[in-house]
């Protein structure tokens, strides 16, 4: 053994394995697109190194003023997107209940008529010339986020003979490490289409579905302006920290 | 050594990124150019290291090309360092986001050859790039890695490759196709299915 004094260096937080029972099954035939896009072989569990535990760092300077305002960030001068004006806000936690600061949140959605601005989009509902459909933001020091948008419309999609998506906003979350990376969808309290949706049904656990449903939040509504919905998100949390013995001076 | 804490909350469930993931993550690529100056995970300017290109296709279990997916890559710099510059700064962030080329149906990652990142026990892993694949029909993002076929000595002692059955390792190893050029396809299902990891 070396006689040099060892020094403990924190090399990263270690995540407990993902509880895949709380996540959708990859193969779910009622959601047709999953049939040929779901791996059949078991995932291989690997030890978490800096490759999994680190992640890109996002700075405030990359954001524009309207990045978190879908009502205006695509609109022509003096115009705004058509639809029910809403504020969506909440907090990003880790599994240990701590807020996740500086988490990159990117969201995208259909317009008020249920139509996406995309070349492959075939739905007959019209485009809104003042609505693009994307926004992004960083959580603050406590993990809070907020953006403004219009409530997206439900839309039909080619799956079963008459499948409709409940109104939803797609969420992409980038915490502090690649192991935390998550894409999910936010639904709206009281939407009767939620329990009918094959994509929602890929999640087996009803409580896990309910955690994706945002709640009307009258306390955060802006009178005579916007309703508000609250949506909290939980990312994986490090339940231990990996230390490495390094030689002094290294 | 590790210090243990207990879980209080449950991770939010994943949902598919759907067919329009690019509206959210690479809007300029889809033609929504008025919102962000540029898409994230582009225009990396590495200070040092060999510039390389990795390209290939993503296949589904029926043999069709997956065109509506988005690939994310993270990696160390050429010294094996993973704490890197901020995304959007002039430094090398190690983060790349790559959509499928709409005409060719293939992906192309331009980056630098990564150095060796330490395994949890302190031993060096072989040079690799971590990959995350999301798409319509993919209910939870798929994690995998890219290794290099001109690093066979390092690959032989890599602790992660060691966990992969020998017959499947080739699904993770990019083939050199010329100077600083590599090729690797991802197969979401079926024969030669890519090895995906639970990280
Ligand atoms: Fe959608």
> Which residues of chain A are within 8 Å of residue B84 when distances are taken between CB atoms?
56-57
A151-179 CB burial, b ≥16 within 10 A, e <16: bbbbbebebeeebebbbbbbbbbbbbbbb
Whether the per-residue pLDDT at A2 is higher than 70: the answer is: no
pLDDT at A250: 32
Strand partners, B186: B58
**Mean pLDDT across chain A, nearest whole number?**
91
Closest-CA distance of chain B to residue A84, Å: 21
Residue pointed to by tokens 């978190």: A68
CA distance A154 to A61: 35
* Torsional sign, CA B156, B160, B164, B169: negative
Of A53-57, B71-75, B152-156, B168-172, which gets the smallest average pLDDT? A53-57
pLDDT at B10: 96
pLDDT at B83: 85
Residue A165 is among the residues annotated as catalytic for this protein: yes
- The proportion of chain B whose per-residue pLDDT surpasses 90, expressed as a percent, equals 83
Tokens of A240: 């231990």
Q: Could you tell me if B160 lies within 8 Å of chain A, comparing CB atoms?
A: yes
User: What's the B143 CA to ligand 1 centre distance in angstroms?
Assistant: 23
pLDDT at B79: 93
pLDDT in tens, B111-140: 999 999 999 889 999 999 999 999 999 999
- The most distant pair of C-alpha atoms in chain A lies apart, rounded to whole Å, by 75
pLDDT at B7: 84
Cβ-defined contact of B74 to A54 (cutoff 8 Å) = yes
Whether the per-residue pLDDT at A213 is higher than 80: the answer is: yes
**ipTM of predicted complex:** 0.95
CA atoms within 13 A on the CB side of A231: 27
Where is mean pLDDT largest: A6-20, B31-45, B120-134? Answer: B120-134
CA atoms within 13 A on the CB side of A157: 24
pLDDT at B88: 79
**Mean pLDDT across chain B, nearest whole number?**
93
pLDDT in tens, B60-101: 999 999 999 999 999 999 999 988 888 878 788 999 999 999
pTM: 0.94
Cβ-defined contact of A212 to B13 (cutoff 8 Å) = yes
How far is the CA of A197 from the CAs of A157, A187, A202, A203, B68, in angstroms? 11, 11, 9, 11, 21
Question: How would residue B3 be classed by pLDDT, with cut points 50, 70 and 90?
Answer: low
User: What's the A155 CA to ligand 1 centre distance in angstroms?
Assistant: 8
Cβ-defined contact of B66 to A11 (cutoff 8 Å) = no
Burial (Cβ within 10 Å: 0-12, 13-18, ≥19) of residue B76:
buried
**Cross-chain CB nearest to B12 (options A40, A178, A182):** A182
Report yes or no: A132 and A70 within 8 Å, Cβ to Cβ.
yes
Report yes or no: A56 and A136 within 8 Å, Cβ to Cβ.
no
Residue pointed to by tokens 């080619």: A158
CA distance B88 to A53: 21
Strand partners, A244: A9
Mean pLDDT along residues A225-243: 88
Return the residue of A nearest to B32 by Cα. A132
Q: What is the dihedral of CA A34, B169, B148, B191, to 10 degrees?
A: -40
pLDDT in tens, A98-151: 999 999 999 999 999 999 999 999 999 999 999 999 999 999 999 999 999 999
Mean pLDDT along residues A138-165: 97
Tokens of B67: 């065109």
pLDDT at A1: 33
pLDDT at A172: 98
Mean pLDDT along residues B26-43: 90
B143 three-state secondary structure: strand
CA distance A189 to A165: 14
């Amino acid at each position: 053994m070396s006689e040099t004094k060892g020094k403990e260096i924190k090399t990263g937080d270690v995540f407990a394995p993902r509880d895949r029972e709380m996540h959708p099954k990859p193969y779910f035939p009622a959601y047709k697109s999953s049939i040929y896009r779901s791996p059949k072989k078991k995932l291989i569990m690997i030890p978490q190194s800096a490759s999994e535990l680190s992640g890109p760092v996002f700075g405030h300077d990359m954001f524009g003023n309207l990045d978190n305002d879908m009502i205006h960030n695509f609109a022509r001068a003096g115009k705004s997107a058509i639809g029910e004006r809403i504020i969506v806000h909440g907090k990003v936690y880790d599994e240990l209940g701590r807020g996740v600061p500086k988490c990159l949140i990117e969201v995208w959605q259909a317009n008020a008529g249920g139509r996406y601005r995309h070349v492959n989009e075939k739905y007959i509902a019209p485009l809104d010339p003042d609505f693009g459909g994307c926004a992004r933001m960083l959580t603050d020091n406590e993990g809070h986020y907020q953006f403004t948008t219009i409530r997206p419309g439900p839309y039909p999609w080619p799956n079963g003979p008459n499948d409709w998506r409940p109104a939803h906003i797609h969420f992409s979350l980038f915490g502090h490490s690649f192991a935390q990376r998550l894409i999910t969808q936010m639904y709206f309290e009281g939407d009767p289409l939620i329990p009918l949706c094959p994509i929602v049904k890929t999640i087996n656990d009803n409580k896990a579905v309910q955690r994706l449903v945002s709640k009307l939040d009258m306390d955060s509504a802006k009178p005579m302006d916007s309703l508000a919905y609250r949506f909290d998100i939980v990312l994986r949390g490090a339940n231990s920290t990996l230390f490495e013995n390094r030689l002094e001076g290294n | 050594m590790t210090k243990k804490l207990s879980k209080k909350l449950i991770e939010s469930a994943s949902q598919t990124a759907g067919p329009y993931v690019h509206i959210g993550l690479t809007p300029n690529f889809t033609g929504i150019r008025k919102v962000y100056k540029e898409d994230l995970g582009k225009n990396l300017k590495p200070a040092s290291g060999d510039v390389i290109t990795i390209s290939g296709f993503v296949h589904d279990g029926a043999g069709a090309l997956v065109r509506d997916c988005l690939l994310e890559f993270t990696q160390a710099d050429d010294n094996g360092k993973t704490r890197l510059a901020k995304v959007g700064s002039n430094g090398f962030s190690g983060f790349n986001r790559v959509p499928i080329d709409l005409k060719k149906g293939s992906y192309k990652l331009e980056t630098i050859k990564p150095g060796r990142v330490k395994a949890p026990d302190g031993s060096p892993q072989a040079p690799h790039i971590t990959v995350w694949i999301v798409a319509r029909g993919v209910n939870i993002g798929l994690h995998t890695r890219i290794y290099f076929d001109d690093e066979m000595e390092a690959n032989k002692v890599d602790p992660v490759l060691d966990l992969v059955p020998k017959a499947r390792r080739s699904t993770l190893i990019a083939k050199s196709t010329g100077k600083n050029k590599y090729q690797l396809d991802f197969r979401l299902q079926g024969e030669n299915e890519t090895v995906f990891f639970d990280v």
